[in-house]
Amino acid sequence: MEAFFAFVCVFLALTALVASEASDILSAVISLSVFGVLMAMVFVILQAPDVALTQAVINSGLVTSFFLVAYSQTQKKSLPKQEKDPGDDI
């Protein structure tokens, strides 16, 4: 069990690093969701099932869903070209 806990902790650190260093928002959201699932596993190993259930439902479920909806609603769209203002050259 200790080896599994060590594996989960190492993988937890790696997913945190990926989430913080990701250049793409979508990959950061996915790695954050994986981080939440791994945290829920840590709480189960530490015999805190109520905290694990809350972590799994809130972080891995709702927060990830909100991030994905926000991402889909705010994707960059092509903006029309704006005329250059002569005062911008100053």
CB 35 within 8 A of CB 17: no
Which run of H or E residues covers position 19? helix 2-21
CB 52 within 8 A of CB 44: yes
- pLDDT tens for residues 8-36? 999 999 999 999 999 988 899 999 999 99
- pLDDT tens for residues 75-89? 766 556 666 666 666
Residue 44 tokens, joined: 């189960």
pTM of the shown model: 0.74
Average pLDDT for 39-63: 92
